[in-house]
Amino acid sequence: MNRFKALMLLSFLAAATSSVAETLQYATENGAIDGYDPVSYFMDGQAERGSPDITAEWNGAIWRFTSAAHRDAFTENPEKYAPQYGGFCALGMAHGGDVPTNPEAWTIWEDKLYLNMIKEVSITWRYNPDKLIERADMKWNALNATKADAED
């Protein structure tokens, strides 16, 4: 899929999804990040499925790990390893939507994990991550503020 098609698909999905800030996209029936070990992205440089026998609970989700060492690293500092934007697609968030992600489409930038919808989107993300992160942070904060206002 070329870059244009990936951006068009992303734009469509961003427009079609609802804004549910702080909803844990990565809290599926398989666990956070669909059962992938968040620490493996950092320590092993790859996406790896965690074991249902090695888990931790954090932020309303069950997180799976490939080893007890990964679990322990996560429980010591979950914010370091958890994906940004509640696990929603980072490029989608930069464009204002809470787009679902694929745990195999990821980037680590400045020691933070960013998930994306498809691998081609991760490639697009790498072209200008600082600008996209700035936009995504603004959108994420706005979504959270909107949710907080709705709860008041």
pLDDT tens digits along 14-56: 443 444 444 545 567 888 999 999 999 999 999 999 999 999 9
- 33 and 75 part of one domain: yes
Amino acid code (one letter) for 135: R
- 71 and 94 part of one domain: no
pTM: 0.80
Q: Could you tell me the pLDDT band of residue 127, with boundaries at 50, 70 and 90?
A: confident
Task: Name, in order, each residue with C-beta under 8 angstroms of 109's C-beta and a sequence gap of 6 or more.
Answer: 129, 133
- 40 and 65 part of one domain: yes
- 14 and 53 part of one domain: no
For residue 70, give its domain range: 27-82
Contact present, 121 and 89 (Cβ < 8 Å): yes
Residue 50 resides in a domain: yes
Residue 90 resides in a domain: yes
